[in-house]
Structure 1
Amino acid sequence: MSGLADQGMLDLGPESLEYRMIGPRPDQAPTLVMLHEGLGCVGMWGDFPDRLAAATGCGVFVYSRKGYGKSSKATLPRPLHYMHDEARESLPRLLDAIGFQRGILVGHSDGASIAAIYAGSHQDHRVRGLVLIAPHFICEDVTAESIAQAHDAYDNGDLRARLQKYHADVDNAFRGWADVWLGNDFRQWDISEELAYIRVPILIVQGEDDQYGTVRQIEIAQEECYCPVDVALLPGVKHNPAREAPEVTLRHVSDFVTRILQGHEAAASAA
């Protein structure tokens, strides 16, 4: 789909998804597909996608999942396996619809979990690597505690007002995220099994002070993955490295992207 506009809505049949496309299209260069956090959307990435496109020369495709931004509303309550549904149903349709040919999945928080599930469920040779920013592989106590605090800030503080400018239906976005994570069943949520089936290099970027996850998340990837796992643990950074430490995050991500994609190009040339 080389005719992708710079921004618009992508019709995937059961859902219509808001997107932005920066730089060369998928038929012209590798594409970085960015998957946002649990309360994120296209707009909440700020200018990080633009800077990533400039630093790597890749095209960057950013989209809002169902329930977020201007995309179709989600049906609530979401099921426990909603991230698996995204990885196994929505993401494959999206990659095919945009004409994805080769590139890297770049996910943050929930988006990182979805990227990991996808790579562990699909032998998709178009995907050359994963960048997982503040990923979740299990639900830790600190995760549930921080989401409970966010729930209180949404109901009694200014969080709803701050999110409202990014989401067409802010209650659908917030409830669709917080309510499932705070459900009792979610303490059993665990995607570490999928990690063993990932066959591409991974970069994990995490803040040392991440309030939603500890270094246990990194340890699980190192224990379960058979693929190379690079780690950038950033001091003084919490759950959103791209916003809190954009320069160092950009450097780590762009260095990894360039190395992985150049390695593939060199291997292809040698063959």
Structure 2
Amino acid sequence: MGGNAGEAALHHTDLPGGRVEYRWAGPRLRDAALPVIVLLHEGLGSVALWKDFPDRLAEATGLPVLVYSRVGYGGSAPCALPRPLTYMHEEGERALPALIAALGIGRHILVGHSDGASIALIYAGAAREAVPERDGLLGVAALAPHVFCEEVSVTAIRAAGRAYAEGDLRSRLEKYHGSNIDCAFHGWCDSWLNPDFMKWNIEGYVDRIDVPVLVIQGEGDEYGTAAQVESIARRVPAGAGVLMLPDCGHSPHRDQPGATLDALAGFAAKLYR
């Protein structure tokens, strides 16, 4: 059920915050019985950086998968710097609902990685009257999510900042972000390294989530500890499944793709079948 060449083509839509690029994977001509999986990328991610994972996820689940680059990333519109420290709140409560509405998506499942996972949790716990689009939300799968800031995260991001300034990280990322490279990197890095970001916390949103949640984290995650997972599992009223993967760092879909795809396929199947 993987996507064909036409489905892999990039498209664009204009949102209040700027133009975003997106593509579809999997069964594009969906019927009303099939929910859409929406993929939300990490703090340095984009459509292209997911590589073939959207197609493999569509194959594993039999569902259409939407993948997009947030404003400031990939081929989407640039963002203004510095980003506000509430940038993930703005994505979850404004930009993501606007995208879902613009593309006419009804029932949906969110799969987010790192920053994208946090954005998904914010969306899922947002006030329903403020985000009516989440009436169609069936569940959230959070890969390496953050619900509060930890010193281990700051340490890892500080090291990324050195690699960007002194090493080859900038050139490696530039092929995915083009002229957005500084928006993508500094919008993420500078926010997390702001001393005030240590107070960042979205556990109150998690307390209000009323759909099932699956959390997947690598045991060797260099950007967060198991305390992130434990907080989510303890707080989600509708229940949260947890999968801790051995021999896995911050990117379960890259480090352990088979186990991650199996878990996501099982989670999705329980939500709509």
Amino acid in the other structure paired with 1:89: R
Seen in structure 2, the aligned counterparts of structure 1 residues 99 and 241 have a Cα distance that, compared at 3 Å, is: same
Unaligned stretches of 5+ residues in structure 1: 263-271
**Alpha-carbon distance in 1 for matches of 2:195, 2:239:** 34
Answering whether residue 188 of structure 2 is matched by residue 200 of structure 1, we say: no
Secondary structure of 1:218's aligned partner: helix
Answering whether residue 214 of structure 2 is matched by residue 209 of structure 1, we say: no
Answering whether residue 229 of structure 2 is matched by residue 218 of structure 1, we say: yes
Residue in structure 2 matching 1:14, options 9, 13, 17: 17
What is the correspondence of 1:248-263 to structure 2 with a 5 Å cutoff?
248-262=259-273
Amino acid in the other structure paired with 1:82: Y
**Alpha-carbon distance in 1 for matches of 2:111, 2:68:** 12
What is the correspondence of 1:69-88 to structure 2 with a 5 Å cutoff?
69-88=74-93
Amino acid in the other structure paired with 1:180: S
Partner of 1:267: none
Answering whether residue 135 of structure 2 is matched by residue 132 of structure 1, we say: no
**Alpha-carbon distance in 2 for matches of 1:177, 1:22:** 27
With structure 1 as the length reference, what TM-score do the two structures score? Answer: 0.93
Shift of 1:26: 7.6
Q: Is the 8 A contact 1:6 1:22 kept in 2?
A: no
Q: Is the 8 A contact 1:31 1:58 kept in 2?
A: yes
Partner of 2:115: 110
Secondary structure of 1:181's aligned partner: helix
With structure 2 as the length reference, what TM-score do the two structures score? Answer: 0.92
Percent identity between the two aligned chains: 48
Partner of 2:3: none
Q: Is the 8 A contact 2:48 2:176 kept in 1?
A: yes
Residue in structure 1 matching 2:173, options 152, 163, 167: 163
Unaligned stretches of 5+ residues in structure 2: 1-6, 129-133
Shift of 1:252: 0.8
Q: Is the 8 A contact 1:26 1:101 kept in 2?
A: no
**Alpha-carbon distance in 1 for matches of 2:264, 2:27:** 18
**Alpha-carbon distance in 1 for matches of 2:27, 2:56:** 14
Shift of 1:171: 1.3
Amino acid in the other structure paired with 1:167: H
What is the correspondence of 1:34-183 to structure 2 with a 5 Å cutoff?
34-123=39-128, 124-168=134-178, 169-183=180-194
Partner of 1:185: 196
Shift of 1:108: 0.3
**Alpha-carbon distance in 2 for matches of 1:99, 1:23:** 17
Amino acid in the other structure paired with 1:177: W
Aligned length: 260
Seen in structure 2, the aligned counterparts of structure 1 residues 252 and 235 have a Cα distance that, compared at 3 Å, is: same
**Alpha-carbon distance in 2 for matches of 1:122, 1:100:** 19
Shift of 1:133: 0.3
Partner of 2:252: 241
Seen in structure 2, the aligned counterparts of structure 1 residues 8 and 130 have a Cα distance that, compared at 3 Å, is: same
Amino acid in the other structure paired with 1:239: H
Q: Is the 8 A contact 1:103 1:128 kept in 2?
A: yes
Shift of 1:225: 1.4
Shift of 1:260: 1.6
Q: Is the 8 A contact 2:30 2:64 kept in 1?
A: no
Q: Is the 8 A contact 2:249 2:255 kept in 1?
A: yes
Q: Is the 8 A contact 1:26 1:99 kept in 2?
A: no
Secondary structure of 1:180's aligned partner: helix
**Alpha-carbon distance in 2 for matches of 1:220, 1:55:** 29
Shift of 1:172: 1.5
